[in-house]
Amino acid sequence: MHNRWRTHHCGTLRSQDVGQPVILNGWVAQHRNHGGVIFINLRDRSGNVQALIEQDASTALQRRGEALKLESCVALVGKVRRRPDQMINTSMPTGEIEIKIEELELLAECQPLPFSISNDSEAREELRQHYRFLDLRRPKMQRNLEMRHRVVGAIRQFLHQQSFYEIETPTLIRSTPEGARDLLVPSRQQPGHFFALPQSPQIYKQLLMTAGFERYFQIARCYRDEDARGDRQLEHSQIDIEMSFVDSAAIFKLVEQLLYHVFLTARQEQLSLPLPQLRYDEALLYYGSDKPDIRYEGQIVDCGTWAANSTLHIFQKALKSNGSVRALRLPPCQLSRRELTELEEQARASGAAGLAWCQVQEEGLRGGIGSHLQPQWKEIKAQLGVSAGDMLLFVADSTPIVCRTLDSLRRSLIARQKLPLKNEYQKGFSKEFGWVWITDFPLFEWNSELQQWEAAHHLFSMPHHRYHAHLEQRPGEVRGEIYDLVCNGVELASGSIRIHQAELQRRVLAIVGIHEREAERRFGALLRALQYGTPPHGGIAPGLDRLLMLLQGEPSIREVIAFPKNSLGANLLDDSPSAVDLAQLADLGIALRNNNHE
């Protein structure tokens, strides 16, 4: 073939191109011989086109055409022509035309395929990962990664316009705690010393604020040694953002506009702004969760006031020991006995002693514990705003168990399609996305195993001013300028306004048991910077992979990452992690225990 490089892309040819001579490069997506005519569906990144070798072709060309294997890489020379009317395929963008092949060159042959290259291919996860380069040829994966590319482009474009500097921070660092285990990298030059891969560039981005850059962002790779799940990986990408001289409202506005820009570019859809907000305490009360799926009905109601007067021992007991009695109010829906039993088992699995229920009727309560609650009927009706047909699912226990249980029941009812969408999510685009800012998170959490306070987010978040005077007295009550952005029950971003005074930072560290010397050792750079005019600042880090997962409606972030790890944190494509030479370990001053080196 004289010139074999493409003049056109397969998926872009249309009836206007009829008569055009073309050279195409791509892969054989389908191949069949139909009464002596060889049909080749050729695919490149832009899409597919039908090409054919007719009976009048030279024998050599026909032989070459017949011998083609699926997914082989070829170049072809031909002419675009209109398909006969009865052959027009309206479900294909190039369906009005076809290419009459004049020359064909095999650029690289493909071995028999381990699975079919189609969206509905049911290959096992391990096989897909082993042959990820083939898996990525599937149209869906091509679309997902194209979308990723477009979204990253849109993010960069928007943030550049908003005067953000894109600055890279190192990936070999001293460990920055974000609540997960670090991935460690041994140092050869200083045996016995380790770098950590960043769980996030948290301290660096704060130092960039001290350095006067005012607006920073980076598409940052973050590493957390956690068990991989549907929406978690050992490494993930964050849109890491930090700004000086702002309050949380300004950060919300920036992120909302960024999302608006992304949705417009990626899906040609307009987000309706501003996004709703809920305080952390409200989210726990109404949904039992700080990541509520707010699209659905089924709100939780506190029954404390009237439950105290009820004769039910279990209610009394929970309230006396400072716990709660709360109910999930379900709009009319049919739950079978079996479903109720399953929900009860689920409640037990969440740690609750059990699950009580009753059904609301015109004049009272029926079923389950209905008759026991009849004396409180008027109060229940007035306070819970229930109407006939509603169902109430009660949990009485310590407040954290009540929240956890009701959240898990609510999620399971959503999955069973027992909760209707709220009116505002019923039509159009907004139906798919239930955004909500969760604000004012607690600063500290009690770790009962270690018997000490821990940072609920990370150690650098600003407590609300009203708590500054007595942080140490009741750490559990302190609420901070900490926020998450949640969509459809998934945490999409998390951030905070940061502490910018050394003294306050030291006090927060001391509450979680990190005192002077250790504070210096672990956070010396930050504490030093806080003494040199660090501006008030704050930031946020939306997860890029999770954003794409939502945009593409994918159930797992593995579908939007080119080369992900599997659920055991391994990559079967390159077989990593892998053993290394003993000599390499010796260089690093590392010896393995238990001879588990292979």
Q: Is 177 in the site for ligand ASP (CB under 6 A)?
A: no
- In whole angstroms, how close is the CB of 456 to ligand ASP at the nearest point? 12
x-marked contacts with ligand ASP along 439-458 as a string, rule CB under 6 A: --------------------
The residue type found at 305 is T
What is the Cα–Cα distance from 438 to 286, expressed in whole angstroms? 12
Q: Is 454 within 8 Å of 512 (Cβ atoms)?
A: yes
Q: Tokens 């579908």, residue?
A: 559
Of residues 25, 41, 200, 233, which one binds ligand ASP by CB under 6 A? 200
Q: Is 554 within 8 Å of 144 (Cβ atoms)?
A: yes
Distances in whole angstroms, Cα of residue 130 to Cα of each of 490, 547, 562, 566, 580: 29, 26, 13, 11, 21
Size of the site for ligand ASP (CB under 6 A): 9
- In whole angstroms, how close is the CB of 540 to ligand ASP at the nearest point? 5
Q: Which of 536, 533, 532, 544 is nearest to 460 (CA)?
A: 536
- In whole angstroms, how close is the CB of 243 to ligand ASP at the nearest point? 10
Comparing CB distances to ligand ASP, the nearer of 200 and 439 is 200
What is the Cα–Cα distance from 434 to 298, expressed in whole angstroms? 14
Closest-by-Cβ residue to ligand ASP is 200
CA 249 to chain centre: 23
Q: Which of residues 476-495 bind ligand ASP (CB under 6 A)?
A: 494-495
Q: Looking at 451-577, which runs of residues are DSSP E strands?
A: 452-455, 482-487, 490-497, 537-542
3-state secondary structure of 20: coil
Q: Is 496 in the site for ligand ASP (CB under 6 A)?
A: yes
What is the Cα–Cα distance from 308 to 316, expressed in whole angstroms? 6
Q: Is 290 in the site for ligand ASP (CB under 6 A)?
A: no
3-state secondary structure of 211: coil
Comparing CB distances to ligand ASP, the nearer of 172 and 586 is 172
- In whole angstroms, how close is the CB of 308 to ligand ASP at the nearest point? 40
- The two beta strands, 215-223 and 165-166, are parallel
Q: Which of 563, 432, 492 is nearest to 141 (CA)?
A: 563
Of residues 28, 540, 549, 560, which one binds ligand ASP by CB under 6 A? 540
Comparing CB distances to ligand ASP, the nearer of 179 and 420 is 179
Q: Is 539 in the site for ligand ASP (CB under 6 A)?
A: yes
- In whole angstroms, how close is the CB of 265 to ligand ASP at the nearest point? 24
Q: Is 178 in the site for ligand ASP (CB under 6 A)?
A: yes
Comparing CB distances to ligand ASP, the nearer of 13 and 547 is 547
What is the Cα–Cα distance from 536 to 245, expressed in whole angstroms? 5
- In whole angstroms, how close is the CB of 426 to ligand ASP at the nearest point? 33
- In whole angstroms, how close is the CB of 173 to ligand ASP at the nearest point? 13
Comparing CB distances to ligand ASP, the nearer of 52 and 550 is 550
Q: Is 202 in the site for ligand ASP (CB under 6 A)?
A: yes
- In whole angstroms, how close is the CB of 502 to ligand ASP at the nearest point? 19
Comparing CB distances to ligand ASP, the nearer of 144 and 494 is 494
Q: Which of 181, 200, 133, 191 is nearest to 542 (CA)?
A: 200
List interacting residues with ligand ASP (CB under 6 A): 178, 200, 202, 494-496, 539-541
